[in-house]
Amino acid sequence: MTALLSLNNVSRAFGGLRAVNEVTLDIQPGTILGLIGPNGAGKTTIVNLISGSIRPSAGEIWFKGVRLDGLAPHQVSRRGIARTFQIVQPFPEMTALENVAAAAMYAGNAESIEAAYESAERQLERVGLAQCSSFPAISLTLGQRKRLEFAKSLAMKPELLMLDEVNAGLHGSELTETMGLIRDLAKSGLTIIIIEHLMKVVISLCHEIAVLHHGQLIARGQSEQIVNDPRVIQAYLGPRYSQRTGAIAG
């Protein structure tokens, strides 16, 4: 099967620090890929490279046969890639509906303002925020703002959605609901990359897991392989976690 997204020997240096070091990674259509690793491993940098926020120092990024590296973020988004941000920053005084409509208009190729608002209404309904459409974004809870990020991203009509710690700060029912939403999006055919520190979420959701350490891809595989990989245990999980989770994954 032809990969939807391919990173070929991608590197990114910031001065003397190589945040991403010769990463090669193919992502197949319709999969959920978990991207894990210690803080500073290069996970968000990879998302920034794919989305066009920063450019690679070396290597190539391809999406549906089109080379992305060198394109501006709005050009990348209009080719079918959307992302959420670890720290949600909606336009605080605008309503939830207006926030999503702006994404539909400027990154989702909406044909008119009316079409942008129609798209925004659909996406707010999809993520369970229809009842909050007229609320200013500043009045929403953290969980609701996280869902607003989903709606904004979906209004861009993506084929690939990148989620950067979308579950951070969520607990209990909010976490369960967000995981359910991610599963539903994947069932609809959306390809997803998720950066996540909660391993129970990664193991539950992801078809495959890729592990970064010091900017390098040190392992890739299904959950059982990852939690038992000596390199991953040493770099990230620790032996106690691996012993506890390996029995569950197996």
Domain count, the chain: 2
Who contacts 171 (Cβ-Cβ below 8 Å, separation ≥6)?
A: none
- Residues 147, 38, single domain; the answer is no
Phi, psi of 166 (to 5 degrees): -70, -20
pLDDT value, residue 58: 97
Given a contact cutoff of 8 angstroms between Cβ atoms, the answer to whether 233 and 239 are in contact is: yes
pLDDT value, residue 92: 92
- Residues 11, 73, single domain; the answer is yes
pLDDT value, residue 159: 96
User: Could you tell me how many helices (H) and strands (E) the chain has, helices first?
Assistant: 10, 10
Any domain includes 188: yes
- Residues 124, 183, single domain; the answer is no
Q: What is the pLDDT of residues 85-127, one digit of tens each?
A: 888 889 999 999 999 999 998 877 788 999 999 999 999 999 9
CATH number of the domain that residue 198 is part of: 3.40.50.300
- For residue 57, give its domain range: 1-80+158-222
Given a contact cutoff of 8 angstroms between Cβ atoms, the answer to whether 42 and 212 are in contact is: yes
Q: What is the pLDDT of residues 215-245, one digit of tens each?
A: 999 999 998 899 889 999 999 888 776 566 5
Given a contact cutoff of 8 angstroms between Cβ atoms, the answer to whether 25 and 6 are in contact is: yes
- Give which of 63, 42, 65, 66 is closest to 54, Cα–Cα: 42
- What is the three-class DSSP state of 126? helix
Q: In what order do the strands lie in the sheet containing 81-83?
A: 81-83, 160-164, 191-195, 32-36, 208-213, 216-221
pLDDT value, residue 87: 84
Q: What is the largest CA-CA distance in the chain?
A: 55
pLDDT value, residue 242: 59
- Residues 140, 209, single domain; the answer is no
Please give the structure tokens belonging to residue 25.
């990674």
- Residues 214, 93, single domain; the answer is no
Any domain includes 235: no
The Cα 242–Cα 56 span in angstroms is 33
Any domain includes 1: yes
Any domain includes 227: no
| pTM, full prediction | 0.91
pLDDT value, residue 250: 43
Any domain includes 97: yes
- Residues 137, 65, single domain; the answer is no
Who contacts 3 (Cβ-Cβ below 8 Å, separation ≥6)?
A: 26, 27, 28, 62
Question: Each residue's pLDDT tens digit in the chain (250 positions)?
Answer: 689 999 999 999 998 899 999 999 999 999 999 999 999 999 999 999 999 999 999 999 999 999 999 899 989 998 999 999 888 889 999 999 999 999 998 877 788 999 999 999 999 999 999 999 999 999 999 989 999 999 999 999 999 999 998 888 888 888 998 999 999 999 999 999 999 988 989 999 999 999 999 999 999 999 889 988 999 999 988 877 656 655 444 4
Any domain includes 209: yes
Phi, psi of 33 (to 5 degrees): -105, 125
Please give the structure tokens belonging to residue 157.
């009509």
